[in-house]
A and B are shown apart, each in its own frame.
Chain A
């Protein structure tokens, strides 16, 4: 279950329906009415767009086209163009809805704008829960709030923020909206958002992209984030918690700058999935210019991930690069426990020794940080 951001365009379309007249622009040309004033934004889930100059307010169609082509040159690809709503800064309100344990929590401030964080005292909190009497938020039309909650529930929203919001009588103007949806809800959402509307978590590196693509095809968990491509310490870690403990150990030992990547594979991936995942990490390691390089294959004591079969997958990946790894003096350090631990560790140890890649191999009787400690000592030497 994770919360992911969808485009502002989709968020507004879901809230306002057909009455929303903004357009989403990807590759196509921008066709706007000659007259009228517009707002254009980069719509890729980027934070602090104003400060980065990725919003153009109150522009003519020519000015908007110019801004967009400028952003395109910077490498941005998704934009939102909508009619400009003239308003006073004093009209701006802040409104957010978030799913919490007990229902939907509403935050509202009669003043809004980008400086809202500086004024927490203006923010009032409300809770919507079917068991409670219906919540009224002073300053927000009841009908609009009801509609928002409906859209929120129907589309598996986790978080919705409108800032600023302009209210004139019964009319509301959503000037800026951000929505995080619950990715686990995708199966249940009908005619709402889809995979294409998600903008967050786009991979920044080809290896991350490959792992993300692989993740989509398996119920197991496969994650990869590149930290320092020129580092000497590369991680093939298992388990959400165990992987953090091991990475922490490196940070605590002052070699944080040497950590090439962070990530983990868990939840019982198959031999083949592990092979493909491990290959990405090994390639990152080989591409690093660092002089001394170590691969740490480590994790906690698995509950149900099979050590034998996942290690077979890791060895399959290592085998593709054995010669190069040996020539570059890479050593491999292992600590792992779980089902078929003995067989898995023995298989790994025999392989590493045979191929002269052996650093150390520990099982569940050793402390979880044993392998990473050895690896740190090795790269520091």
Chain B
């Protein structure tokens, strides 16, 4: 089986060396639009990070990054079919050799770099030229429609994947020395109502590993290919090799060729070629001579580009119509700026109390010891213990969006350690984030002590222009209760009386009469119930409760479990390690101080 047949049969898995997000994304878009279920790119060899975010369709995925090729081979084993080498010319040789060392069963590669030294290229030819199919150095890669897009070939945005009909297989092969003209030819074939069997940009370097002759031999051997469209330039004698192939009947399929470079005749002094060439090769390297030589063996080689485009109609192949493909969803995708996992299901409402009876929770010596340490005496009631356990469990995490989690993640991405990242997250805890439990506790104490009515209290706060912490929710409202608040509220049934909770509810009654979203939220409920439990089950006075609030005891109820959540986010970031975080420009609004001056004179 030749390389094209193997690829069409599914040998399309790629390991990318180096990084070029536009090219990698275009390969994933090509896969998606070709109807594949999984992306062809298995991973990226790029230092300093462990994952990089891309889209597969509209869904975000994290492509794994490996520190070096050896590690990639340990993870991916023999799954890799192709290498896409996007490194700079000076590093290409080493990484290519290493790739074939670790992935001996792969099929080939594309080397993108333009500045690969000649001796490195010839060394690659002698080492790997017979065994592997290596496109480049230089050029834009290899395309097998609907199967493999190895490189920038055919363009990097979804519009081009559609307009070039890259996902629909046909019978025309495209070969070009110029990367840009490869794309022009791909589109010309599509506009002519034909489709590709494969396309290769040979690259403008002197020693491409896969030679032009090999590409023509491949096209001849490929049963899908029925015609060839070729773009060449002045200089070099490759086209004379094609002529030899045709003469020897080793290439028999119709060929339409354009050889560019008539412009050279406008230069005063000709591009001079070295003595050696002049001595060895008597063949003329000018565009005009090569054109005429091709014509002499029956190749259609028109003078002008428009004539060349017309000649494409002479190639076999049906009249395809424009692709019907919806690329709209792939445009204007907004990348998320941080990635995380679900530490806790925050919408889940656990049951702690049922039928006025405390359900037996898990034994937790840590919670017991924690409460003892914070209160300065051992706790007496299983209710206090169970309530604390319930709250700790609920408050471990509230998703990756919140200030503290974001801070932790950004600090982790900056390469900092656990304690620094955790501290950076915790430092956001205060009046606007996480500090509401303590503030709510103060309010409920104040309400109970001053014996205010909920309505009066709300009116007073409104008049003073103050917020009532512990009230209000983004999502839940009257008629759609917060399941966590509902579960905690059952603790009230275990108490003989619960003045703080009652007061909080009376405040809620007043606020919800104005706005259905102003319900007693989880912070307010925790504060109210904890006050009542400490009062009844642990025998604490209103003064002692006030002291606890002043010492921010209620904040501890947030900080202790949430530290666990922050650490979980920290560890997740270290696992994915997407590199240093930077806010994308489109998410940053830079206010201009003064209107821009009109530059025109």
Contacts and interface: CB of A to CB of B under 8 A. Distances in A.
A339 B178 contact: no
Nearest to A130: B126
Nearest to B601: A323
A140 interface: no
Contacts of B599: 319
A351 to B, nearest CB: 12
Interface in B268-295: 272, 274-276, 278-280, 282, 287
Interface stretch (B75-83, B255-263, B564-572): B255-263
A379 to B, nearest CB: 15
B154 interface: yes
Given A116-B279, A244-B233, A256-B265, A249 B181 contact: no
A251 B118 contact: no
Contacts of A284: none
Interface in A352-370: 364-365, 367-369
B274 A180 contact: yes
Contact of A241 (B89, B178, B187, B303): B178
A44 interface: no
B336 interface: no
A244 B261 contact: yes
Contacts of A116: 275, 279
Contact of A117 (B160, B187, B279): B279
A337 interface: yes
A125 B276 CA distance: 10
A34 B49 CA distance: 68
Contacts of B306: 367, 369
Contact of A256 (B204, B266, B600): B266
A159 interface: yes
B206 interface: yes
B159 interface: yes
Contact of A1 (B20, B114, B272, B305): B114
Given A239-B179, A239-B181, A304-B152, A251 B117 contact: no
A205 to B, nearest CB: 13
Interface stretch (A11-19, A49-57, A64-72, A184-192): A184-192
Contacts of B119: 99, 153, 156, 182, 185
Interface stretch (A76-84, A100-108, A285-293): A100-108
Contact of B177 (A125, A180, A241): A241
A266 B353 CA distance: 70
Q: Is the interface of A mostly helix, strand, loop or mixed?
A: mixed
B233 A304 contact: no
Given A251-B262, A304-B22, A338 B160 contact: yes
Interface string B120-133: 01100110000000
Most buried by B among A102, A245, A249: A245
A206 interface: no
B205 interface: yes
Nearest to B265: A251
A242 interface: yes
B35 to A, nearest CB: 23
A242 B178 contact: yes
A342 to B, nearest CB: 7
Interface string A89-112: 000000010111111010100000
B231 interface: yes
Contact of A184 (B118, B160, B211, B267): B118
Contact of B184 (A129, A262, A301): A301
A117 to B, nearest CB: 6
Contacts of B176: 241
B178 A240 contact: yes
Contacts of B155: 301-304, 338-339
A99 B122 contact: yes
B23 A262 contact: no
Contacts of B140: 303-304
A227 interface: yes
A340 interface: yes
B274 A159 contact: yes
Interface string B232-270: 011000000000000000000000001011110111000
B125 to A, nearest CB: 6
Given A117-B279, A250-B263, A188 B117 contact: yes
B508 to A, nearest CB: 51
A248 interface: yes
Interface string A230-252: 00000000111110110111111
A349 interface: no
Most buried by B among A238, A251, A302: A302
B276 A245 contact: no
Contact of A156 (B117, B178, B181): B117
A158 B266 contact: no
Given A98-B274, A252-B304, A302 B183 contact: yes
B536 interface: no
A182 B117 contact: yes
Interface of B: 20, 22-23, 88-90, 114-119, 121-122, 125-126, 137-138, 140, 152-157, 159-160, 163-164, 176-184, 187, 191, 204-207, 211, 231, 233-234, 258, 260-263, 265-267, 272, 274-276, 278-280, 282, 287, 303-306, 309, 599-601
Given A240-B204, A245-B181, A303-B180, 13 more contacts: A101-B207, A102-B126, A103-B122, A116-B275, A219-B88, A239-B181, A251-B266, A302-B183, A303-B154, A303-B155, A337-B183, A367-B305, A368-B305
Interface of A: 1, 47, 96, 98-103, 105, 107, 116-117, 120, 123, 125, 129-131, 153, 156, 158-159, 161, 163, 180, 182, 184-185, 187-188, 219, 221, 225, 227, 238-242, 244-245, 247-252, 256-257, 259, 262, 266-267, 299-304, 319, 322-323, 337-342, 364-365, 367-369
14 contacts: A1-B89, A1-B118, A96-B276, A158-B118, A184-B116, A240-B233, A241-B184, A241-B233, A257-B266, A259-B263, A300-B180, A301-B155, A303-B182, A364-B163
